Amino acid sequence: MLDAEQSGFAWGEETVTELLLLAAGPEVRAFPFNKRQEGGKDGTGADWLWWWIGDGGVSFGALVQAKRLKKKPGGRWDLDFDYNGGKQWASLMRAAQALQVAPTYALYMGSPRYRHPVACTKRQHPEDFTLCLRCIRKTVTLLPALLLAPGSALGSDPAWAYDLAVPMEDLVDPRRYVAATPSYPGLELGPDLERFLFSAQTGPKRVAKELVEQIRRVRASQYGLATADPVDMTSEEYTLPTLPDDRLHVGEPYFPNILRGLRNSPPGYLLELLVNDDPETVSELALGLDDVSLAGVVIVDQRDR
C-alpha cells in the first residue's frame, strides 16, 4: 500500500486482497473461483469465505468483505459502510446467514503515514507513524459487520471503527490468544458458553471470541437491559448450540451472528479443498445460493503439524 501511495496509485480492495493472500504464508491458502463458480444472481463476487481450522477439527467461518479507507477533502476519513444506501451491508448479512458464518469487514487502512493524523492508542506514540509496530499491524483489520448496521453510531465514525478493529495478522497467528472476558452482566450463560468466554482461547476459537469481544465492548456502553432468552442452534455441528438473544440497539442477536461460524468440524468441502486443491469442489455451494457471490475460499490451517 505504501508503494502504491508513493507512486500515486489508488489501491483497490480486490488488488490488495490478492496481494495479501499471496504474501500471507503457508498457513493461509486461497482458492479463487472462476467467473462460472462465483455464483450469485449476477455471477460475480468480491467477498471471500474464510475458514480457520484448528486441532481436533474445531473450525470458524466468516464471510469477509473488504472496505478501503478513503480520505475526503480536509483529511476526513470515509470507509463507505453505508454504500448503496446500506444495500451492500444487507447483502453481506444475507449471504453470511445463508452460509451460516459470521459477516465480517476487513478494513484496508493504508500505510500509517496515510492514516495520519489518526494514530493507534499507544501511549508516547512515535512522531513517525511508520515506526509504530501497532500502527503497522493495523494496516489490515477485522470487525464484525453487525456493528456497522445502517444507522449505527460506529458506522458513522470510521476512526472509532479503526480503533475497535483487531489486526488480521493477529488472527492468523496460531500462537496468539485472547484472554478471558471480564463480564456479561445480566446474561444467563450456559456452561459451554461460560467456559468459552471466561477462558483464554487460541486458534479458531480465538478468532470467534475476538469478534464477540468487539461487540461486547460496544454493547457495554449501551443502555438497555440484557436479554436472557436463549437462541437454539439446533445442529450438532455447532460448538455452542444454545446462545443468549441479547442485541445491540440495531440489528439481530449478536451471539448467534458470530458463533454460528464456530463448528466442531470443518465442512466437507474444506477438507476436499485441502486434499484436491480444486475450487470445483465448492462450486455447488456458490451456485446453489442466490444471495451468495464469492470471490473464493481462504483456509487458515492452524493445526499442529
Instruction: Check: CB of residue 58 under 8 Å from CB of residue 205.
Output: yes
Which tens digit of pLDDT belongs to each residue from 110-155?
Answer: 888 888 777 677 777 777 777 788 888 888 999 999 999 887 877 7
Q: Is the pLDDT of residue 191 over 90?
A: no
43 found inside a domain: no
Query: Is 273 contained in some domain?
Result: no
Assess whether pLDDT exceeds 90 at residue 173: no
Q: Provide the number of structural domains found in the chain.
A: 1
The β-bridge partners of 83 are none
Q: pLDDT band at 62, cuts 50/70/90?
A: very high
Peptide bond into 167 cis (omega under 30): no
Answer whether residue 40 is part of any domain.
no
Q: Poorest-confidence range of 46-50, 148-152, 170-174, 297-301?
A: 170-174
pLDDT tens-digit profile of 281-296? 665 555 456 667 788 8
| Count of Cβ atoms closer than 10 Å to residue 163 Cβ | 14
Domain that holds residue 120: 52-266
Q: Which three cell numbers stand for residue 72?
A: 475526503
Identify the CA nearest to 97 among candidates 295, 287, 289.
Answer: 289
Judging by DSSP bridges, how do beta strands 47-53 and 294-301 pair with one another?
Answer: parallel
Select from 10, 140, 145, 2 the least CA-distant residue to 65.
145
Residue 272 is assigned to a structural domain of this protein: no
CA-derived radius of gyration, the chain: 19
* Cα distance between residue 262 and residue 239, in whole Å: 6
Nine-digit cell string for 293 = 457471490
